[in-house]
Amino acid sequence: MSSIPHDHAHDDGHAAHPTGLMRWVTTTNHKDIGTLYLLFSLFMFFVGGVLALTIRTELFEPGLQIVNPEFFNSLTTLHGLIMIFGAIMPAAVGFANWQIPMMIGAPDMAFARMNNWSFWLLPPAAIMLIGSFFVPGGAASGGWTLYPPLSVQGGMGFDFTIFAVHIMGASSIMGSINIITTILNMRAPGMTLMKMPMFVWTWLITAYLLIMVMPVLAGAVTMLLTDRHFGTTFFNAAGGGDPVLFQHVFWFFGHPEVYIMILPSFGIISEIIPAFARKPLFGYPSMVYAVASIAILSCLVWAHHMFTVGLPAAGLLFFMYVTMLIAVPTGVKVFNWLATMWRGSMTFETPMLFAVGFIFLFTIGGFTGLVVAIVPVDIQLQDTYYVVAHFHYVLVAGSLFAFFAGAYYWLPKWTGTMYDEKLGKLHFWCAMITFNITFFPMHFLGLAGMPRRIPDYAQQFADWNMVASIGAFGFGLSQLIFVWVVMKCIRGDGAKAPAKPWDGAHTLEWTLPSPAPYHSFETPPVVK
C-alpha cells in the first residue's frame, strides 16, 4: 500500500509534496489516507485481539487465574470499544477512502484536508482509550455500552473513554460528510445513482446513518459527563433522572451502529461475488432498496436490546416485530448473492472464499439474531453467551471476513503486486475453522445459562470454554498469516498485478493501472 509512488509528472498545479513521515502526516490524498486508516485499524485489531486473548486465557478454566474481576471487566469493555471504534469502523472508512473516488471516477474526496483531519483525530483517541488502563481506578469497566450508574460512579477511566468516544465520533461525522458529498457531487459524467457500484451505495447509506446516530451518542456521553462532573442528574434516579433513558439513547445509536459496521461489508461482498461468478449482480435495484430498508428499519429497533428492563407489552411487541422485519431485506440480499452465483462460472480465489464464508457464517449470525428477537426467548438468553456468539458471528464472520475479502480483492490494485494465493487460502481456512471452534460452542454455553462478562464460572461450563479458548488462540495466530501476505504485497514480493486481475470485475478502478496512480481520474471518465 505504501508502495504507491508519488508521480511527480502529475504534480503540476499541486504544492510540493513532503516525503517520509511528513508525507503521511500532511497528506490529503485519498489513497494515502485510506492506507493510514487500514493500517491503523489493523494495529487496533491486534490490540483488541490481545485483550480478547487475555479474556479467553482467564476463561480457559473455572476459577480466577491471571486477572482480577475488576480488570476483567475493563478488558471486556475496552475489547468492545477498541474493536468497534478502533478496528471495524476505521477499516470500513479505509476501504471507502481508497475505493469510492476510484469507483465513481472522482479525482479525490470532496474535502481533502478534512479527510486528513478525520484520520489524525483517531490516534489520540486510541491513545486515550488504551492509556486509560494506566490511570487511577483503571480503564472503564461498565461494558462498551457505558450504562449508568456504573459509568457515572466509575473512576477516571470513564472520562478518558467519554473523550475518546467524542473524538472518534467527530472523526466519523467528518468522514461521513466527506463521503456523502463526494458521492453526491463528484461522480463521473453518466454515472447516475442507479449505476453506482453497490459498495458506493452501501457507503452512501452508511454515511447517512452515521451522521444521524453519532451525534446522538455524543449527546448521550456528554450528558454522562455532565452527570459525572457538573451536577446534572440526567441518568441519576436520586435527582429525578432515569438510568433507563441512557439505554434508550445509547441503543438509538447502538443498533444502527451494527448496520454501520455491516453495510459496507455487504457492499464489498456485492462487488466480489459478481466478479468471481462472472455474472452481473442479480437484482441490483432490489439490493439498493434492501440496503435502504435495512438502514431505515435499523433506526426503529433499538429497544430489542432492552427487553428485560420492563417495557410495556405494546413496546415489546412493536420492537420484536420490527426486528423480525429486518430479516426480509437481509434475506433479499442473501438470496440475490446466491442467485448471482447460480450457474455462474465460479472460481474460488481467496476473496471469493472469504465472501462465501461470509454468507455462510453471517446467515448463521442472522438466524440467531432472529432467535433473540423473540421476546420470551430473549428474556431467557439476555446477557448470556448465546448473545456473545450471535454478535461475533455477525461482526467477526460478517464485517471482518468481508474486510479480508475486500483486502485480498483490492490488494493487487493498491500495491501493484498479486498476493500469495496459497497463503491467502491458508489464512481463510485457518480463520474459518478456528472462528467456528471459538464461537460456535458459545451458543451451547449461552443456552446452558452461562452469563457474559464474568471472569469465573460454574464447573458445568468448563469443557466448552476450554474449546473456545483454544479456538481463540488459533484464530488470533491465523491473522498473522494475513499480516505476512500484506507485508509481501507492500514489499513487492510477488507477481506484478495487471490493471484488471479479475476478469469478472467491471467497476471503474480496474480501468486504472496497478498500482493505482497517485492522482487518479484527473480527467473524468464517461460512464455509459
Residues catalogued as catalytic = 79, 108, 144, 171-172, 255, 257, 259, 270, 304-305, 330, 333, 452
Distance separating alpha carbons of residues 78 and 58, to the nearest angstrom: 16
Q: Which residue has the cell 461489508?
A: 265
The smaller minimum CB distance to other proteins, of residues 162 and 180, is found at 180
Query: 57 vs 232, which CB is nearer to other proteins?
Result: 232
Residues pairing with 417 in the sheet? 496
Interface with other proteins, residue 97, by CB under 8 A: no
> Which residue, 175 or 274, is less far from other proteins as judged by CB?
175
Q: Round to whole Å and give the CA distance between 365 and 203.
A: 22
User: Alpha-carbon dihedral of residues 458, 464, 466, 472, nearest 10 degrees?
Assistant: -130
Work out how close the CB of 181 gets to other proteins at its nearest, in angstroms, rounded to a whole number: 4
Q: Which residues contact 439 (CB under 8 A, 6 or more apart)?
A: 388, 389, 392, 393, 396, 397, 468, 471
Residue 19 binds other proteins (CB under 8 A): no
Q: Does 250 bind other proteins (CB under 8 A)?
A: no
Our finding on whether 239 is near other proteins (CB under 8 A) is: no
**Binding flags for other proteins, 185-224, as an x/- string (CB under 8 A):** xxxxxxxx------------------xxxxxx-xxx-xx-
Q: Quick one: 182 or 350, whose CB is closer to other proteins?
A: 182
Using CB under 8 A as the binding rule, whether residue 176 contacts other proteins is answered as yes
> Among residues 454 and 512, whose Cβ is nearest to other proteins?
512
Q: Does the bond joining 515 to the residue before it have cis omega, within 30 degrees of 0?
A: yes
Phi, psi for residue 23 in degrees, rounded to 5: -55, -45
Sign of the alpha-carbon torsion through 404, 176, 167, 97: positive
Binding status of residue 145 toward other proteins by CB under 8 A: no
The CB-of-370 to other proteins minimum distance in angstroms stands at: 25
Candidate ranges 19-27, 125-133, 175-183, 407-415; the one touching other proteins (CB under 8 A): 175-183
Work out whether 149 is an interface residue with other proteins (CB under 8 A).
no
Pick between residue 299 and residue 374 the one whose CB is nearest to other proteins.
299
Distance, in Å, from the CA atom of 117 to the CA atom of 13, rounded to the nearest integer, reads 23
Binding residues among 296-315 for other proteins as defined by CB under 8 A:
299
Residues numbered 100 to 119 that lie near other proteins (CB under 8 A) are 110-111
Stretch that binds other proteins, among 40-48, 169-177, 275-283, 460-468 (CB under 8 A): 169-177
23 binds other proteins (CB under 8 A): no
242 is an interface residue for other proteins by CB under 8 A: yes
Residue tagged 452481473 (cell numbers): 280
The site that binds other proteins (CB under 8 A) totals a number of residues, namely 36
Distance separating alpha carbons of residues 366 and 242, to the nearest angstrom: 32
Taking the complex as a whole, how short is the minimal distance between the CB of residue 189 and other proteins, in angstroms? 5
Is residue 248 within the footprint of other proteins (CB under 8 A)?
yes
Cis amide leading into 149 (omega within 30):
yes
The 10 Å Cβ neighbour count of residue 279 is 18
* Residue 141 Cα distances to 84, 156, 158, 161, 230, angstroms: 16, 11, 8, 10, 22
Cell of 504: 469478472
Residue 420 DSSP SS3: coil
Pick from 156, 177, 346, 377 the residue near other proteins by CB under 8 A.
177
Cβ count near 491 (within 10 Å)? 12
Q: Is 252 in the site for other proteins (CB under 8 A)?
A: yes
- Rank residues 292 and 499 by Cβ distance to other proteins and give the closer one: 292
Q: Which of 123, 124, 344, 524 binds other proteins (CB under 8 A)?
A: 524
- CB-count exposure of residue 67 (10 Å: 0-12, 13-18, 19+): middle
Q: Is 245 in the site for other proteins (CB under 8 A)?
A: yes
Transcribe 292-348 into DSSP letters.
HHHHHHHTT-GGGG-TTS---HHHHHHHHHHHHHTHHHHHHHHHHHHHHHTT-----
Determine which residue in the list 127, 184, 309, 328 makes contact with other proteins, applying CB under 8 A.
184
Q: Which is nearer to other proteins, 208 or 391 (CB)?
A: 208
Tell me the closest approach of the beta carbon of residue 209 to other proteins, in angstroms. 11
**What residues line the site for other proteins (CB under 8 A)?**
110-111, 173, 176-177, 180-181, 184-192, 211-216, 218-220, 222-223, 234, 242, 244-245, 248-249, 252, 299, 524
